[in-house]
Structure 1
Amino acid sequence: MLNPWRLRLLSRLDTLGTVRAVAQDANLSASSVSQQLAVLEAETRTQLLERTGRRVRLTPAGLMLARRARAILDHMDTVEAELRGLGEEPVGLVRLGAFQSAIHTMAVPAVTRLAGAYPHLEVELLELEPHESIPALRGGDADVIITTTDFVQLPLGPDLDIVPLATDPIVLVTSSEGARGPADLSAYADSPWALDVPQSYMAELTLRLCRESGFEPRVACRFSNYLMTLQHVEAGLSIALLPLLAVDRRYRVTTRELATPVTRTIAAVVRRGSPLRAAVNVVLEALRQQPDLPALAEWTDGGAD
């Protein structure tokens, strides 16, 4: 019979890549992890690992089992949660990952409502940008994520269930002395730009839109924190492309819609067959009940002063 704990170690090896990383994640020694994986090979009578120099990697059989293991473990967790929750309110821990601008606008209000309605439900909030949250969800480190479905570098697939929540326009953010009206990015080819960190959703989107407008942006700074970006823009040191939700009204900046509009689709995403289904469902329902986002006209062209 397959041992769930050993299956989890194998699944984590597929996600993390090395025995040492799995050992650190599981608070075990590397030798203990190796021993348990060897026992799993004996239980399955199949070679799951092969050595490449000083490291090990999954064989095709090991890769198949590791990826099936995630679904097996999720199903077991679901059954356990359903047994515990028969006739009771949703209980347990749900890890909710959300990108920076969705935390205060969507995640915190939802968690606040849940705290009042379900005192035995615990929601752990994780700040995860799209390039981090999708692997975290697939690897089992998050149960629900708020992300964008437009991040082409990490497409969503049939292993995930998607619940659309809202659309959010991408806007050009300049100092309060900037021009008004829809922005043609080609007019800003010589401007200094504030970008997100490399490989992130907004960094990749900014590069793509600037290149489509015929220029390579001159990068003045890179911040993973939108508030630092807004401070830099407010000081007149750069301009930036940001999602409208990310623009904090406390900063004296001007937001302008793009001449060729670009929007991102915000969605809640869970693994298909997710564990803790009752608890996950109430979190999804709370996220669906978000108030309408501010109208674009309230935020653009008139600034966010």
Structure 2
Amino acid sequence: MEPRFWKDFWATRALPRCKETCWRAISGYLPLNERLFHRRVDVDPGCNFCASAMEHEDHLFLLCPTTKRVWLASQIGVRGDSFSSFREFWRVVIQLGDDEVAAMAQSIVYALWEARNHKCFQQREVITDVVLGRARALMEEVQVRDQASAPAVAFPARWRRPGPGIIKCNFDASFLVDGPAGMGMVARNSEGEVMAAACSYPLSTISPLLAEALSMRWTMQLAIDLGFRRILLETDCLQLFKAWKAKEAGRSYLSSIISDCRLLVSAFDYVNLSFVRRTGNTVADSLARNAATYAGFVWVEEVPDAALPFVISDVTLLEPIGI
């Protein structure tokens, strides 16, 4: 790897132990079974996860069926078998220039290494959600570490009216690990009046982030069908908001969905995406959570009873025009 790669690799906001473990994996310094076997250590050279292939970096961290499930279910949503090697995977990750993606990938590698050792020495079952939960916990350690010094980012905490002539389309997805997701959207004008609302169910996907991205694409398609020409999309998913603003092409499912959304932009006179905290997206959240009840429904100038209290609350809290 070239010096610039390592400079960017070590500059991520992942924990030092995550970066070090990942560096050892890329450099071929981890004591994997195939390497130990060739050094005449009395071990089975097979993979600790699946036992169906030799345990080397490319297989353990990218190509093993267990590992592939982890990457697909992660917020990165990448297919391991779309890369020729673990080193190539990291070259692509660093070239994206997205610190959050790189740091999460480093945390996932560390969590996979932990899971491998637990399986090897303690015979613990490897569960995708547990591995990803561990990776998220490692990322949260970074956030706690940086919280005191990092400047606060001011995002609105309630629904705000769009500009005149613009329809704001809030959308959300309700994701269940053991079941299908639901989607909800609500479109409102600058007076807070509901122009349309909709629910969709079921949605089969592998992660909350992909569900949010699919919800965005579905919302844009609905807006086209409803004849809206100037729209402001709004989400409470910060990862999706950052991915959209990054404007980077990639090989992940998330990148593919965002590319679809970018193609839909040409159908509008104006499109933008904003982020609001969950307290400002309560109508779309209610529609998504009740999507199984209202599957396939589209309402014009109204919402179902379950979402009505949240619409009223948003209108009550609206700031006066001009503020």
Q: After TM superposition, is the score higher than 0.5? A: no
When the two structures are superposed, what TM-score results if normalisation uses the length of structure 1?
0.27
Which structure has more relative contact order (CA 8 Å, sep 6+)? It is 1
Point out the structure with the larger helix share: 2
> Larger strand proportion, structure 1 or 2?
1
